[in-house]
């Protein structure tokens, strides 16, 4: 009997000791090349813009979560501006400060870099010109070290400085098979004009501008995957209804709302041809699907419970996550097939779970939940939909809601009142690299689009 008990305890201990699947590790990846990004110098009018150029390049590469950034405090004093600055010594001496720059200055300790991004900028023909190179400094000579070299052009102003820096960083990321977030947009709700309107900004918080002007409440934006339309909920017509705008003209385009007191939470299908939403057309808010103009409506759920926030899987279009109170308690996150069949609860039933959002690969969701650390307050969680394993990303920092994934599947944008008022923040999908993107007014409900 004792042997049986000991065996049982050994098996149980082994089961407990087994690590839970590394959810964020599978999203973020583990192997990262080390890259050194020394500050570039500029000539002429470009000199005054180099702080913007250098900060933008470094941040774009750091935020991409593809590289391990070599600390600038470890960089050698001999920084090349162009490939011809490199001179191979007869005998390498890292302590010889009078020697020309060489590859080993960057590949050896203390830098230990795999890659070096370098260059310079100048003014030419009324434009800022950035000369940028990427070198694999593990190579034996300059000719084999060069990954690419390219020129970038922009106006001689702050916008032009950011443009050339974004483009150089994007080409570096492209070399590693990664799409830059530069050019993507975050749409969000802000009251800074006196009413809740839809606004947009660049992925890094630059270029914030107002999209709607209904002088009412406009909220819950959703952008079509083809980038042509934005749908949102608005009280501009009296009761909450779904409105759609062209992102090219910013003008309203037709959408046929069903006759109901509330139509809200639009979400586009991957081909942009259909839209899921919640409607109280049948008394309780239920999940419906329609064509992108509101025609061809069909009901997907049929319960005597409030069901809202449908999100269509952006990869397959075959399943939908949504929020429902059908369990008789607090709202929880569920999934179902796109025809309404095979409904399954994803969250445990504890606390309140809301705001589900698919990652671009259609394998994980981010959502807000009141369980875990800081119980009773909403925090951001990520779940592997297949295994139901989850991880908590925020804690002890106010109310965190409305997570949405970036196009790269490695970043999440969300709203948080950790500073006293709700603002838009971004972070990596492992909870690191927190960035505050807005500060004027109250800002919430972000949606990230290519």
Q: What is the DSSP secondary-structure string of 114-136? A: SEEEEEEEEEETTEEEEEEEEEE
Average pLDDT value over all residues in the chain: 92
Nearest to residue 179, comparing CAs of 410, 414, 427? 410
Per-residue pLDDT at 6: 41
Long-range contacts of 347-354 (CB under 8 A, 24+ apart): 347/383, 351/375, 351/376, 352/378, 353/323, 354/309, 354/323, 354/378, 354/401
The region that residue 205 occupies, defined by phi over 0 for left and psi between -120 and 50 for alpha, beta otherwise, is: left
- pLDDT surpasses 90 at 132: yes
- pLDDT tens digit string along 62-116? 999 899 999 999 999 889 999 999 998 877 777 776 677 899 999 999 999 999 9
Rounded to whole angstroms, the Cα distance separating 39 from 54 reads 6
pTM value is 0.88
- pLDDT tens digit string along 138-169? 999 999 999 999 999 999 999 999 999 999 99
Return the structure tokens found at 400.
Answer: 């965190």
Domains of the chain: 26-175 (3.40.50.10070), 185-449 (2.120.10.30)
Per-residue pLDDT at 30: 64
Radius of gyration of the chain (CA): 26
* CB-based contact 327:352 (threshold 8 Å): no
Nearest to residue 35, comparing CAs of 141, 104, 117? 117
- pLDDT surpasses 50 at 18: no
- pLDDT surpasses 50 at 312: yes
Per-residue pLDDT at 15: 33
Rounded to whole angstroms, the Cα distance separating 264 from 243 reads 9
Instruction: Give the 3-state secondary structure of residue 410.
Output: coil
Per-residue pLDDT at 98: 63
- pLDDT tens digit string along 188-213? 999 999 999 999 999 999 999 999 99
Other beta carbons less than 10 A from residue 87's beta carbon: 12
* CB-based contact 199:190 (threshold 8 Å): yes
């Amino acid at each position: 009997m004792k042997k049986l008990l000991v065996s049982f305890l050994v098996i149980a201990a082994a089961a407990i000791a087994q690590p839970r699947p590394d959810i964020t590790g599978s999203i973020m990846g583990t192997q990262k090349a080390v890259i050194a990004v020394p500050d570039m110098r500029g000539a002429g009018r470009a000199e005054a813009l180099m702080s913007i150029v250098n900060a933008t390049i470094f941040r774009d590469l750091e935020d991409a979560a593809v590289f391990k950034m070599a600390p600038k405090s470890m960089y050698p004093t001999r920084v090349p501006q162009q490939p011809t600055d490199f001179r191979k010594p007869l005998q390498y001496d890292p302590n010889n400060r009078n020697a020309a720059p060489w590859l080993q200055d960057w590949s050896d300790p203390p830098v230990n870099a795999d890659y070096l991004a370098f260059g310079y900028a100048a003014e030419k023909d009324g434009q800022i010109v950035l000369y940028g190179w990427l070198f694999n400094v593990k190579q034996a000579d300059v000719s084999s070290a060069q990954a690419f070299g390219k020129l970038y052009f922009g106006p001689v102003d702050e916008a032009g400085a950011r443009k050339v820096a974004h483009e150089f960083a994007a080409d570096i990321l492209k070399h590693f098979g990664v799409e830059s977030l530069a050019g993507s947009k975050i749409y969000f709700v802000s009251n800074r004009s006196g009413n809740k309107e839809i606004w947009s900004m660049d992925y890094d918080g630059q270029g914030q501008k107002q999209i709607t002007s209904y002088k009412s409440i406009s909220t819950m934006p959703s952008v079509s995957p083809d980038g042509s339309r934005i749908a949102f909920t608005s009280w501009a017509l009296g009761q909450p209804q779904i409105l759609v705008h062209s992102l090219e003209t910013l003008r309203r385009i037709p959408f046929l709302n069903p006759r109901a007191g509330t139509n809200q939470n639009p979400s586009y299908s991957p081909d942009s041809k259909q839209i899921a939403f919640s409607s109280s057309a049948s008394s309780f808010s239920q999940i419906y699907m329609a064509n992108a103009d509101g025609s061809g409506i069909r009901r997907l759920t049929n319960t005597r419970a409030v069901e809202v926030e449908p999100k269509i899987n952006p990869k397959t279009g075959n399943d939908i996550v949504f929020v429902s109170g059908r369990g008789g308690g607090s709202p929880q996150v569920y999934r179902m097939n796109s025809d309404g069949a095979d409904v399954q609860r994803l969250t445990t039933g504890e606390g309140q779970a809301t705001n589900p959002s698919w990652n671009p690969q259609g394998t994980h969701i981010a959502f807000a939940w009141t369980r875990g650390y800081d119980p009773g307050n909403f925090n951001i969680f990520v779940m592997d939909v297949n295994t139901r394993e989850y991880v908590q990303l925020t804690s002890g920092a106010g109310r965190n809601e409305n997570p949405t994934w970036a196009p790269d599947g490695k970043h999440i944008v969300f709203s948080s009142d950790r500073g006293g008022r709700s603002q838009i923040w971004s972070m990596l999908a492992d909870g690191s690299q927190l960035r505050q993107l807005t500060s004027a007014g109250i800002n919430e409900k972000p949606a990230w689009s290519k």
